[in-house]
Amino acid sequence: MNYGKNEAKEAARQILKGVWTAMPYCWDRDDEFDEIANRQNLSHVIDNIKVDGHYCSGNIAEFWSMPDKERMLAHEIMYDEANGKIPLIAGCHHQSVKQATALAKHAQDVGYDFVIILTPYVAARDDDCIFSFYEYICDRVDIGIILFNVPQVCHPIGPDLAKRLSKLKNICGYKQADGSPAATHSIMNAVGNDIVISIADEAPWLTSISQLDLQWLVNYNPHLYQVKGWLPLKDYTEAAQRGDIKQATEIASSLQSLREVHAKWIMGYWNKGRMPLAEMKYWQELIGMNGGPSRPPVLEMSDEEKKEMKKDLFNTGILDYIKE
């Protein structure tokens, strides 16, 4: 980070913009963090997908399966690989406020631009509890902190709580995992310009740029929907940002078949309560990235499922861009 605690909000307004990705981590044959595979994936999204930033150690990176020592190692490796080419966020989610603080301090010392911290989902069941959790961490670190609202799992960070939290010096962002446009709009009205709000799905991104004036998308769609030489999400984002909504709409429509595959293989399982990490990782393998196994309790795909998913992706045309 290259800013002071009192400058976190302004830093966020300058940095948290554009198309960011989040990826599953890869594990080696000994079920350890696979340094080579993860470095290759990050290098790919930086150099070939041209993302504007990356979020490390999120839900889909299986942070919940990682000991703190392993997560800190992952943050060091990913920071080294990025080498200052793009800004980075470190996921410092933890049920223990002391451990979340320790992870945030470590990310701050390594040099991360921001950290993101999920609301605790066991002990905190009302707004005052959530506020005290974030206040404790804010008092002990200088790095900018992004709130993570996942109402499907945790006590929601609604408009009133978001407004309270936005007054803390280094609360500077809000990652919205509630897919309701009305919910996002209510948060925007509550916090004003105090913090930067993201959306967590590609489908409403164009509308969010053109109608809500949001500037930040962060999720896994950017690297699943794009390959070297074909970057429709990046292209339509840039068209929309320069005001050419007609061109942006035309480009965005080329992603419809991929959205349908995503709805079937990713959101279809997620909506049933199953985290579709095996499906994400196999999708990555099909488009030339590293994937591999996940850790329990995530379930692996059957051979028949893989065969069907490969056929579905082939029919979108995205595999035509993959060079052997």
Query: Low-confidence residues of the chain, pLDDT below 70?
Result: 324
Task: Report the candidate in 186, 321, 234 with the shortest Cα–Cα distance to residue 21.
Answer: 234
Q: Where are the beta strands (DSSP E) in the chain?
A: 18-22, 53-56, 88-91, 114-118, 144-149, 171-176, 196-199, 216-219
* Rounded-to-10 torsion of CA 225, 290, 17, 138: 140
Identify the three-state secondary structure at position 297: coil
Give the pLDDT score at 324. Answer: 53
Tokens standing for residue 311: 């056929």
189-199: pLDDT as tens digits: 999 999 999 98
The domain defined by 5-252 folds into TIM Barrel (3.20.20)
Residue 267 DSSP label: I
Domain boundaries, the chain: 5-252
